[in-house]
Chains A and B, each alone.
Chain A
Amino acid sequence: MNPFWKVFLSSLEFIFMQRNSQEKAADVENVPPVISTPHHYLISIHRDRLFFVSVIQTEVPPLFVIEFLHRVADTFQDYFGECSEAAIKDNVVIVYELLEEMLDNGFPLATESNILKELIKPPTILRSVVNSITGSSNVGDTLPTGQLSNIPWRRAGVKYTNNEAYFDVVEEIDAIIDKSGSTVFAEIQGVIDACIKLSGMPDLSLSFMNPRLLDDVSFHPCIRFKRWESERVLSFIPPDGNFRLISYRVSSQNLVAIPVYVKHSISFKENSSCGRFDITIGPKQNMGKTIEGITVTVHMPKVVLNMNLTPTQGSYTFDPVTKVLTWDVGKITPQKLPSLKGLVNLQSGAPKPEENPSLNIQFKIQQLAISGLKVNRLDMYGEKYKPFKGVKYVTKAGKFQVRT
């Protein structure tokens, strides 16, 4: 660790520097996260069009820094609703106060949002009005209760009139499908996000119908690992509010169902300034649920000037500058499969493009966890009241790509 690493925020300045030093990195997303300069190391993350940069002078674990920077960005998001240059400028003093609380001389202090919120109140319009009238400040002056207890993520004395515990099981399918429609690679990235509004110190246990699905799991620190190892039950005293309980990965190929298929034919004629484009989407293993919110994005080759297409449903746009085709499909009805056909205009005289554009597909299936994961029951100990409980499932496309 090093006494001097400071987090400072800048967006344009840094990108500019990058452009100078490395012409190829003109594409902001491609700035490598660890850069060495003659005297320092710069470790950066790119979030919401902002770079968060940390300057390092001596050996320090880069992941430590990157994790921390992401935590900073999350905190800003949490406090200001968005993590943008404007939000940071508007709240520069709070930003300063937050950074001060989060980091002491290179040592992270408080990074749990529960604790931070006790120390520094998030800005609200009401509060700033009240503050300016009463002269009170938005900095708490008592020691945050969780800071030192063995459950640093929860504050004491939480009170709700309606006690609720909601869990969202969200699964994303990452897949690469090759030209012929067979799966090159597929896995499910799942998370269980919780929204817990329970009074006092509730001790929860969450059990699953089929816990054996979960063999590669990352836990929130609140989960008792031993209990999971021996009984496959998630037992924990939850933080207050929204948090990610676990994230997991299901990778065995046979467990990953691919809910949609795409028929495609994209061709460019040699020595002519046009090509054909034709894609059709249909449901595959959808477990009887409706697939909705489908969007197809295609990065067309540079020589494509324009596209003249007809969708059977939904609408499409083509941006001639970025060459991105976006087709907003909507729902699939099995009776009539949505398709998009038409002509592609190429720059005349240019050779026909070598690369084949990949199709990037987004979709959503409500009320289904594609891995088959099911919550069995939620029990609460330690408090007397009966909480209201709920579990919601949703499956989405993650990085879902179809090669053509």
Chain B
Amino acid sequence: MTDSKYFTTTKKGEIFELKAELNSDKKEKKKEAVKKVIASMTVGKDVSALFPDVVNCMQTDNLELKKLVYLYLMNYAKSQPDMAIMAVNTFVKDCEDPNPLIRALAVRTMGCIRVDKITEYLCEPLRKCLKDEDPYVRKTAAVCVAKLHDINAQLVEDQGFLDTLKDLISDSNPMVVANAVAALSEIAESHPSSNLLDLNPQSINKLLTALNECTEWGQIFILDCLANYTPKDDREAQSICERVTPRLSHANSAVVLSAVKVLMKFMEMLSKDLDYYGTLLKKLAPPLVTLLSAEPELQYVALRNINLIVQKRPEILKHEMKVFFVKYNDPIYVKLEKLDIMIRLASQANIAQVLAELKEYATEVDVDFVRKAVRAIGRCAIKVEQSAERCVSTLLDLIQTKVNYVVQEAIVVIKDIFRKYPNKYESVIATLCENLDSLDEPEARAAMIWIVGEYAERIDNADELLESFLEGFHDESTQVQLQLLTAIVKLFLKKPTETQELVQQVLSLATQDSDNPDLRDRGYIYWRLLSTDPVAAKEVVLAEKPLISEETDLIEPTLLDELICYIGTLASVYHKPPSAFVEGGRGVVHKSLPPRTASSESTESPETAPAGAPSSEQPDVIPTQGDLLGDLLNLDLGPPVSGPPLATSSVQMGAVDLLGGGLDSLMGDEPEGIGGPNFVAPPAAAVPANLGASMGSGLSDLFDLTSGVGTLSGSYVAPKAVWLPAMKAKGLEISGTFTRQVGSISMDLQLTNKALQVMTDFAIQFNRNSFGLAPAAPLQVHAPLSPNQTVEISLPLNTVGSVMKMEPLNNLQVAVKNNIDVFYFSTLYPLHILFVEDGKMDRQMFLATWKDIPNENEAQFQIRDCPLNAEAVSSRLQSSNIFTVAKRNVEGQDMLYQSLKLTNGIWVLAELRIQPSNPSFTLSLKCRAPEVSQHVYQAYETILKN
């Protein structure tokens, strides 16, 4: 009797039948029926109609039946929230069951039911379970807090579960500790600003103790958490490393890799002179190699990570080249990764072996792999100068095989070798020319044409060769056309007598018969150059070329350092920072390696990188495909673009910056001065000036309005509002507003003394905030402020202060001090003071960016009752630095496409739809940091309606 029979019933009336069985008196029949229901659920049949019947089976003492019913509940509670309430009582009762297994099961299941109404009932049982005497229940409850937080974060905070969870870190049972850490890490991930995992030497010590005793999965959580800690000096780093190294021998590869992450990160802090540093380097190699003997899936992830490690610290694996040799039955994804690492490890010492291997691979079956192997030979030649000769002869051997794709790939890399070692290997040109006819891929054709043009003086029949390409000029790809044009011009400059006709032919083809603007432009430039000053043309076109250098595809050092912090995660598999691909970008924390802080005096400067390490200097990079064209043109004067093609655009980097401070705040020792739990305004003492307050502020409001209008040359300025009433600040009343004029932000304050004593010694400070707003100068109140006196001050601000994400985003917490006391208040600043003057995006860029930002990031808003027309809207917004990039009229509606940039580099793109007859506008905003959209919309509202 097997369960597969549950899959086979497909007859009609099945639900009806099941219903009857579920309500049967016989236990066994009931259980069978529930099993059938679960099986139907698995294959995707809708059995939600049976909800009440299944829930009825819940009150049972049969644990298996109970579990099955719970399974069903988790699946369908969301679609039947009202019915799910029926189950609550049983849950609550089960949470009190004498059997800890049932208590844990109940609290676990309740957490998985994502129905708001149920979560309210969950709180009490959860609180009890968090303090349960049985550790099994406690550890289950810890995870449940994380689940609940995902459903309703506010509830979790209000109920004080987070504090209970923090207490669990000191629990006596290691499993409970591990789960508490896991739960806190998950919560912290979605709230980077919250100071949840407060890591200090004591808590680290507890974690390290628990690390030795908990399960493998718990070890992963704890290690990942340790990796976020920054030790205070190298001694602490070393002692943590010493306690983490035993994990390198764990059978679970995820534990090993997490341990490697901790070690790689803390190693940064250790001085290289230390004996321990060397020991650690030696200890890291074997576990990494061992990962390669595991299943191919594990190998793949390990290889992607090793790729990073090899770039950061090549010395770790420099003697382990052989383990990366490819076996013919490795899956292709493993093969390609191994090949990449082999090239990175190639050095003079092992180049002979590497080359022999690569040559072997070049005869394999898989075309992609063979191509990459051939390319790798070229990379070796460029990287290890001593091997260049051998590489070239290997490539020639390969060309002799006449296998089409091998030949083409070889020609492409030989071109790079020519560029690296000019005037050394030109003897092979003849062999290359023999294969001219077999080339059918654009890249190979272009490379061959470049070679012919470059060495035209040594190739007797260069003109014939090039002419043969010219016949099908219009059928060639752009790459080849451009190359051909340049090559023929070169040829002409070298052998002007015989090739005049040819050059005229190609120039006319390029300039007159082509639709491609690049090609035309290049044609015209050459034409002018040649016709005005042939000598200058020679100097330009045949100029000395910048050398290309050894390493390719290196990850940029800062990105590499960040990725090292993400070893073992998806980021390390994709070699991109998480901000670049994690959806919604919720709580992306920018991680960085700790600086080296030696407690003992070290003579070594912190910048000194290991010998030969790629990070020691920014190496030049072989231009990739796109750049190749530019280089080959020989018109460029600078060196090839250094800085590899980084996937993240500046816009994305902005998003990182916005939240970049999150980590600081997580790790910061103490909130400085203001903010945090202290942030409560002290209760007002007796306020004698209470009476005049309302009148005074009313007056000043009027006054401000006029002054506000007077200064309306920059972006819109809101009238001053009272931020700190006199009642709350022992007689000091503060009202103010924010302005932005010609690129500078200021806070216009009006201080009124409503107390009976003189006020002096004013000072102001801001708490960390989302955009790093900070006073650019101290608060200058020149004379003491006597009773009933008012003073107006404009406080210049900048945006270079420390960053912490606030809720709401534009919240600013301010502390003002005078001789009486310190007062705290918070205010919301309008976002448009952060719109910078160069926020106009180029049209093309706008289009590309609009497409590039995922649709989930788009937010739509209505701006009601706005009587302006498109022109007025556009000009008014422009004065507040919202720029109209393009305007379109679609079926009577005006569409404005606008862009703006925030001080931290975040771009916001907007589409504003205006219907002539309708005073409501529709505003669509797209931004990589969607959390700003709401505030941008508010800025629009404010600007347009005032």
Contact = CB atoms under 8 A, between A and B. Distances in A.
The reply to whether chain A is a binding partner of chain B is yes
Given A32-B333, A354-B403, A401-B328, A1 B217 contact: no
Contact of A132 (B28, B254, B289): B28
Given A3-B147, A30-B333, A104-B140, A59 B293 contact: no
A253 to B, nearest CB: 8
Contacts of A89: 2-4, 7
Interface of A is mostly: mixed
A29 interface: yes
A67 B140 contact: no
B96 to A, nearest CB: 16
A172 B47 CA distance: 51
B158 interface: no
B253 interface: yes
B687 interface: no
Contact of A46 (B71, B150, B297): B297
Interface string A129-169: 00010010111111100011010100000000000000000
A91 B290 contact: no
Interface in A164-180: 174, 176, 178
A124 B357 CA distance: 52
B568 interface: yes
Interface string A385-404: 00000000000000101010
Contacts of A200: none
A105 B111 contact: yes
Interface string B94-136: 0000011100000010011000000000000000000000111
Contact of B213 (A39, A61, A132, A150): A150
Contacts of B27: 135
A266 to B, nearest CB: 13
A63 B139 CA distance: 23
A50 to B, nearest CB: 13
B363 interface: yes
A42 to B, nearest CB: 11
Interface in A77-115: 86, 89-94, 96-97, 100, 104-105, 107-108, 111-112
Contacts of A140: 63
A3 B150 contact: yes
B298 A67 contact: yes
Interface in B202-249: 213, 215-217, 220-221, 224, 246, 249
Contact of A104 (B143, B568, B586): B143
Contacts of B135: 148
Given A1-B185, A221-B216, A66 B297 contact: yes
Given A61-B224, A93-B39, A148-B135, A33 B300 contact: yes
A60 B224 CA distance: 11
Contacts of A93: 3, 6, 35, 38-39, 68
Interface in B456-481: none
B65 interface: yes
A221 B364 CA distance: 41
Given A59-B582, A139-B63, A143-B100, A92 B254 contact: no
A17 to B, nearest CB: 16
B522 interface: no
B4 to A, nearest CB: 4
B325 A184 contact: yes
A10 B635 CA distance: 56
Given A70-B295, A92-B6, A137-B64, A33 B301 contact: yes
Nearest to B353: A184
A64 B259 CA distance: 13
A220 B255 CA distance: 12
B254 A221 contact: no
Nearest to A172: B293
A176 B322 CA distance: 10
A327 interface: no
B388 interface: no
A89 B140 CA distance: 30
Interface size classification for chain A: 35 or more
B497 interface: no
B301 A187 contact: no
A379 to B, nearest CB: 22
A151 to B, nearest CB: 10
Contact of A92 (B3, B252, B301, B363): B3
B289 to A, nearest CB: 7
Contact of B357 (A29, A152, A184): A184
The B interface is mostly helix, strand or loop, or mixed, namely helix
B365 interface: yes
A184 B586 CA distance: 49
B150 to A, nearest CB: 5
A24 B300 CA distance: 18
Contacts of B256: 218
Interface string B1-15: 111101100000000
Interface in A56-73: 56-64, 66-68, 70
Nearest to A73: B295
Nearest to A8: B42
Interface stretch (B569-577, B594-602, B656-664): B569-577
B146 interface: yes
Nearest to A29: B331
Given A3-B150, A58-B582, A185-B322, A141 B301 contact: no
A36 interface: yes
A225 interface: yes
B253 A63 contact: yes
B279 interface: no
Contact of B189 (A30, A32, A58, A86): A58
A45 interface: yes
A362 interface: no
A46 B403 CA distance: 34
* A27, A94, A100, A247 interface centre (most CB from chain B within 10 Å): A100
A44 interface: yes
A205 B578 CA distance: 46
A92 B136 CA distance: 27
B637 interface: no
Contacts of A219: 249-251
B330 to A, nearest CB: 9
B583 A152 contact: no
B328 A1 contact: no
Contacts of A137: 31, 62-65
A119 B568 CA distance: 32
A181 to B, nearest CB: 14
Given A135-B27, A221-B215, 12 more contacts: A3-B146, A34-B570, A58-B582, A63-B298, A64-B217, A64-B254, A66-B297, A137-B63, A140-B63, A143-B99, A220-B251, A249-B286
Interface of B: 1-4, 6-7, 27-28, 31, 35, 38-39, 42, 62-65, 67-68, 71, 99-101, 108, 111-112, 134-136, 139-140, 143, 146-147, 150, 173-175, 179, 182, 185-186, 189, 213, 215-217, 220-221, 224, 246, 249-254, 256-258, 286-287, 289-290, 293, 295-298, 300-302, 322-323, 325, 327-329, 331-333, 353, 356-357, 360, 363-365, 368, 401, 403, 568-571, 573-574, 578, 581-583, 586
18 contacts: A24-B368, A62-B569, A92-B4, A97-B68, A111-B216, A128-B1, A141-B101, A147-B136, A148-B139, A189-B293, A215-B286, A216-B286, A221-B216, A225-B249, A354-B363, A355-B365, A401-B328, A401-B329
User: Closest 4 CB pairs between A and B?
Assistant: A137-B64, A216-B286, A90-B2, A139-B64
